[in-house]
Amino acid sequence: MPPPPFRPPPGYARVRVVGSFDELVTTPFADGVNALCWPRTLAGDFSEIVAQLGDGEDITTLEEARLRALPLSAAGRTAVATLLEDQQLLRARGLSPSLDCIRRYPRDEPGAPVSTDVYSFHADSATAPTDTYLCTYAGAASEGLRHEEARRCVDVPELRAALLARFGGPDNGEFRDYLREHCYDLHYVPIPSAQPFSFGLGHLWRIAVEYPDSPVPPCVHRAPETLPGQPPRLLLIS
Ligand SMILES: [Fe+2]
């Protein structure tokens, strides 16, 4: 049975749903909207692709030739066609999408006061205007957190104190440089009542990135935990 159509979680004014790829790429981020979602119910069997890839590296980037060489059913081939079309759409806009089969991402060293791996809620950042596009086709979907329900780790007094202790100096400009260099300032914790939401499967998202003079706050998001025994994820990211 196809999944229900995507609806933004109640009260989530920062997601705007769009009706086409063109609308997804041309709608400006404004009025606090920092995530655009083009909801889709995709035909084809994406799980079959993942199953055919078998065991492999933690992260495998899938090139067109590899996808086309997989021994697939008609449903699997339909899924491949969609994977290639999505990349083509993004490339035609000058973007550089990557399609990855993800078994696990690298994790932080244990004991760090603030986690800075992608399993931790974070904002993507850049020095110039840009956006992140993403779509989960199979496996666990990426997760988002409303800006109102997110606090920067460096603004949480206990976490800031722990980072300061690790830095070993006063809370000054050098410390702020240290926070930036280690990406501590890009990571967030949910407030106790927060309700993170799923980006769902098949929907193509464009989310706001933190860069100088961005008109909206960045869209806080994270990779889902991949538990032992769970199938790998199939993720498009640009
Ligand atoms: Fe990210």
Buried residues in 135-146 as b, exposed as e (16+ CB within 10 A): bbbbbbbbbbbb
Q: Does the predicted TM-score (pTM) go above 0.75?
A: yes
Percent of the chain scoring above 90 in pLDDT: 82
* pLDDT score recorded for residue 225: 87
Residue 39 pLDDT level (bands cut at 50, 70, 90): very high
Q: Where do the H-state alpha helices sit in the chain?
A: 21-26, 46-53, 64-69, 74-92, 157-167, 173-181
Q: Does position 133 have pLDDT exceeding 70, yes or no?
A: yes
Residues 169-198, mean pLDDT to the nearest whole number: 94
Q: How far apart are CA 143 and CA 223, in angstroms?
A: 6
Strand, coil or helix: 237:
strand
Q: Bridge-partner residues for 208, per DSSP?
A: 131
**Backbone φ, ψ for residue 97 (5° rounding):** -70, 155
Q: Does position 45 have pLDDT exceeding 90, yes or no?
A: yes
Percent of the chain scoring above 70 in pLDDT: 95
pLDDT tens for residues 80-128?
999 999 999 999 999 999 999 999 888 888 888 899 999 999 999 999 9
pLDDT tens for residues 134-166?
999 999 999 999 989 999 999 999 999 999 999
The Å distance, Cα 234 to ligand 1 centre, comes to 15
Ligand 1 being an ion, which residues bring their Cβ within 5 A of it? 124
The Å distance, Cα 115 to ligand 1 centre, comes to 13
Specify the DSSP class assigned to residue 27.
S
- 86: nearest Cα among 19, 27, 137: 137
